[in-house]
Amino acid sequence: MSNITVCARFRPSNTQEKQNNDSGCIRCIDTESFIFKDEKDEEFVFSFDRVFYEKSEQADVYQFLALPIVRDVVDALNGTVITYGQTGAGKTYSMEGLGILECDEQKKGLLPRVVEGIFDSLNFEDKIYSIKLSMVEIYMEKVRDLFDLSKDNIQIKESKSRGIILPGVTEITVLDPAETLQSLSRGIANRAVGETQMNVASSRSHCIYIFTIQQEFSSDKRMRSGKLILVDLAGSEKVEKTGAEGRVLEEAKTINKSLSALGNVINSLTCGLQGKASHIPYRDSKLTRILQDALGGNARTALLCCCSPSALNAPESLSTLRFGVRAKHIKASPRVNYSEEKCDNSFSVSSPSGDTSFGASS
Ligand code: ADP
Ligand code: MG
């Protein structure tokens, strides 16, 4: 049993915050703790596994939060990385960086680094691999396939051997990092975006990236598989603050409902109910259902709580940080997944000749 990893990240002040001469809401103590000041000047001390302040590098976030999970997934465990926070707090910047293709190395987010990490960790000495990628978004409580928009209401099922599955979802077999990034970029272009006063291009859906890494041992043909889920959640802000109306208001209510469901699952998991799985309300939303394996189950999970450094956003940041504190108490017990299914040899990833880095074990 291990607790999930919870980190906080504060983005740099934006132009508006700088113009307002914003005093800021945080005072650094060290790499794990800070003092948070709310709008009434009340102070709270928060501690997390790691705090990434505004000068933090994307590479540091990857190394601390995601790299250990990538290594586990290549060793056939399940892993999940979630970004949480209000719109404009830095979730997508952390997850994708500034673009998936042709991004400045320094600005690359978790996704492209995870892709490199996966391919770098493969060990071809005794295994063959098959790597598959799916991308879905949950918009208005419907799961939509981002590689095939005609599949706009994918069901969520549970399989004894594979855990939570999405029957019929497009699974793209990827053979190298460049091809994987191309596919990711195509899926991202399909994301539904709406407009709110907080951020003109804020995302109103939860975006979920699923990597499945199957492996077969050359010696005894044993099969194992690991699943890595990355989740860029929709904004956690309260509806009233966005001034939304009509469709956007409906979107916001649906988002709030699914994030509340996530909060309720976390509360149930941390209120001594572990072991009584039937009492954990995973089925209250599509989001919690898809993340069922990831929360309190068979996965190593990391949560990045993204916050604005501005005093103006203190109430939303406080709510994000409190969410992180609650999540910290969740225990999970990841285990290696042996499977019956065969690797599809015709699509197996193989070591490019002459490139020794690809043969290296993690
Ligand atoms: P969210 O996905 O949470 O709505 P974004 O990731 O889109 O927020 O971030 C909002 C804006 O702030 C974007 O312009 C983004 O590039 C910028 N930003 C966020 N985090 C950082 C950071 N750590 N460093 C530099 N810019 C950032
Ligand atoms: Mg976003």
> For residue 139, which phi and psi values (nearest 5 degrees)?
-125, 125
Query: Which ligand 1 atom sits nearest the alpha carbon of residue 306?
Result: 3
352 lines ligand 1 (CB under 6 A): no
Statement: residue 195 has pLDDT above 60: no
Mean pLDDT across the stretch 216-234?
93
Q: Are strands 163-165 and 157-159 parallel, antiparallel or unpaired?
A: antiparallel
12 lines ligand 1 (CB under 6 A): yes
Pocket test for ligand 1, best of 10, 53, 93, 237 (most atoms within 8 A of CB): 93
- Quick: pLDDT tens for 233-252: 999 887 665 666 777 788 88
Say what the pTM is. 0.90
**CA-CA distance, 154 to 136, in Å (whole number)?**
9
305 lines ligand 1 (CB under 6 A): no
Q: Would you say 243 is a known binding-site residue?
A: no
Residues 6+ apart with CB under 8 A from 107: 58, 97, 98
Query: Which ligand 1 atom sits nearest the alpha carbon of residue 98?
Result: 16
Mean pLDDT across the stretch 18-30?
87
All structural domains of the chain, each given as residue ranges with its CATH number in brackets, are: 2-339 (3.40.850.10)
Give the pLDDT confidence score for residue 63 in this predicted structure: 98
Is residue 245 helix, strand or coil? coil
Question: The tokens of 205 are what?
Answer: 């859906």
Query: Which tops the pLDDT comparison, 206 or 197?
Result: 206
**Least confident window among 161-165, 200-204, 307-311, 336-340:** 200-204
Pocket test for ligand 1, best of 11, 108, 199, 255 (most atoms within 8 A of CB): 11
Please give the mean pLDDT across all residues of the chain: 85
64 lines ligand 1 (CB under 6 A): no
- Residue 125: closest CA among 346, 341, 351: 351
pLDDT band at 356, cuts 50/70/90? very low
Residues 6+ apart with CB under 8 A from 251: 139, 140, 194, 204, 244
- Quick: pLDDT tens for 91-123: 999 999 998 888 799 999 999 999 999 999 999
**CA-CA distance, 205 to 254, in Å (whole number)?**
9
Residues 120 and 359: beta-carbon distance below 8 Å: no
Q: Would you say 85 is a known binding-site residue?
A: yes
Question: The tokens of 112 are what?
Answer: 């492209």
CA of 201 to the centre of ligand 2 (A): 8
Q: Would you say 252 is a known binding-site residue?
A: no
